[in-house]
Amino acid sequence: MACGVGYCAPVTPGEPAGNPRPARRRLSVDRRREELIAAALELFGARDAEDVSIDDVASAAGASRALVYHYFGGKQELYVAALRSAAERLESRLRPQEGGTPLEELASGLGHYFDFVEEHAAGFAALLRGGPANRAGEVGEIVDGVRRRLFHLVLRQLNADEPSPVLRATLRSWIASVETAGLDWLEHRDVERGTLERVLVDQMVALLGVAAAHDPGVRLLLEQLEGEPAAREPAAR
């Protein structure tokens, strides 16, 4: 038996006693699972899911292939678990903000969204990588769930009730722009984050302006927003 600082390891026959093997880390079930998911998100965020193998995830996490199968059963189950983890973290940021004008609350919510984008880049990229064409079944439900939460949050922040078809299409178009802007920012990071957030808020106002020409209810909503003192500040300050 060869002993080091804090551990003892058996000596393999023929192995010098002065070079003990490092002891395997003992992690709780939850902690090991989190490590595997974190490794999977890094890989799924950088590459298409079909190009990531269980061996890739095991290697990145410093675990065995058998352990990944033990926790998740297979690559699809791991993929779904990783995306669900990212979605839950993002949804936890999408909380209603109180105390400001509608556009101030919208800007605050967008800031929390981009906090997640910046702090969990791999998770955000994995969640949205590939586009709607590749979103089916359980994976599609996870992504759509995040979009629905953001949609209802925006409705609340704009003080809108049941959206008309025009308003619904407008808000969904804006959410798609936010997602695309987030992915673009992660790829290039050549615009200051605060500037990008202000651009997206101004885009919302511009989209509502177009929709107002086709829907009296949106026109009333826009008039209420533009009546706020801070609603039309310039995007670049």
Report how far residue 16's alpha carbon sits from residue 41's, in angstroms, rounded to the nearest whole number: 39
pLDDT for residue 22? 36
Name the phi and psi angles at 165, rounded to 5: -55, -40
pLDDT for residue 28? 76
pLDDT for residue 2? 42
Question: pTM (2 decimals)?
Answer: 0.78
- Element (H or E) spanning 211, and its range? helix 193-212
Q: What share of the chain is helix, strand, coil (3-state, %, to 5)?
A: 70, 5, 30
Q: What is the DSSP letter of 229?
A: T
Cβ proximity of 87 and 146 under 8 Å: yes
Provide the residue-wise pLDDT of the chain in tens; the chain has 237 residues.
Answer: 444 333 344 444 444 444 443 344 555 788 999 999 999 999 999 998 889 999 999 999 999 999 999 999 999 999 999 999 999 999 999 987 777 889 999 999 999 999 999 999 999 999 997 544 456 689 899 999 999 999 999 999 888 988 999 999 999 999 999 999 999 999 999 999 999 999 999 999 999 999 999 999 999 999 988 875 433 344 343
Q: What value, to the nearest 5°, has the Cα angle with vertex 208 and ends 203 and 210?
A: 100
Q: Which domains does the chain have, with CATH numbers?
A: 84-226 (1.10.357.10)
Q: With b meaning 16 or more CB within 10 Å and e meaning fewer, what string describes 24-53?
A: eeeeeeeebbebbbbbbbbbbbeeebeebe
